[in-house]
Amino acid sequence: MPSFLTVRDLACGYQSRVLADLNFEIEQGDHIGIIGPNASGKTTLLKTLCGLLKPQTGQVCLEEMSIHKLNSAARARRVAMVSQEVRIDFAFKAHEVVMMGRHPYVPRMGSPSPHDREQVQWAMEVTGILHLADRLVNTLSGGERQRVLIARALAQEPDLLLLDEPTSSLDINHQIEILDLIKELNRQKGIAIIMAIHDLNLAALYCDRLMLIHQNRVFAWGTVEEVVNLDNIRAVYGQSIMIERHPVYGCPQVVLLSRLSPESGR
């Protein structure tokens, strides 16, 4: 039986900065984290996986069908992406933004069907933003806006949800709220999740498997324990660290060490 998502001999990127030799498979219901230093290509890979960026070589197949051969509407019915920075310059209400996720299903010049409205209602309910339905998006907090954008993606009814730094610029309370929400959707709906995330400890806490990107290649790919270890993190980030076990969940956690002496570092 074919894998849900298959990446074969993929090279993608811009001009001289290209990710290459990418080969991996993802199953339905997986929760994958993509980690790596700044400018390592995490966003580039996500854009290629969702069909926004055409690969230079190789292919991305969703159940043996090339993502890049699907038209935009067909792709949007299977794959949704929440980008790191989304500008909403007009005064849209939250429910109007979520309804944008139904565009792949609404006929051109047509109106949303009862099912479209039901799907928007469900997406807003599971993301906890029904009470924000008539609020203008540009008046919401960062955490509230992030929930609206996730609800818009869920309204697409995707089988695969891609998220680029979903906790960027959020405080720790909103980070946990967003990642808990994503994990629950992964468990309850079986949606495959691939998210690029800077925070190694949050990645280890929430993801089933991790992909560590370094120098335009996949440096490590596997379980959290296989990827988050002293050798890998020191080699990629060049930082003195310790690896400890989370006192509650048992997953590896990275402890940063200052280059300063203990006395001068306080």
Q: pLDDT (tens digit, 9 = 90+) per residue, 17-53? A: 789 999 999 999 999 999 999 989 999 999 999 999 9
Residue, of 265 and 262, whose pLDDT is higher: 262
Give yes or no for a contact between 39 and 211, defined as CB atoms under 8 angstroms apart.
no
Domains of the chain: 5-256 (3.40.50.300)
Q: DSSP 3-state assignment of 147?
A: helix
Residue 99's pLDDT is 97
- Report pLDDT digits (tens) over 142-178: 888 889 999 999 999 999 999 999 988 788 988 999 9
Place of tokens 């120098």: 215
Residue 234 reports pLDDT greater than 90: yes
Q: What is the percentage of the chain residues whose pLDDT exceeds 70?
A: 95
When pLDDT is averaged across residues 218-246 and rounded to a whole number, the result is: 95
Residue type, 94: A
Note the pTM of the prediction, 2 decimals. Answer: 0.92
Give backbone dihedrals phi and psi of 64, rounded to 5 degrees, phi first: 70, 10
Residue 108 pLDDT grade (very low, low, confident, very high; cuts 50, 70, 90): confident
pLDDT at 86 over 70: no
Which pLDDT does position 110 carry in this prediction? 81
Q: How confident is the model at residue 113 (pLDDT cuts 50, 70, 90)?
A: very high
The DSSP line for 67-95 is GGGS-HHHHHHHEEEE-S-----S--BHH
Rg (CA), the chain: 19
Looking at the chain, the whole-number percentage of residues with pLDDT higher than 90 is 78
> What value, to the nearest 5°, has the Cα angle with vertex 169 and ends 249 and 143?
80
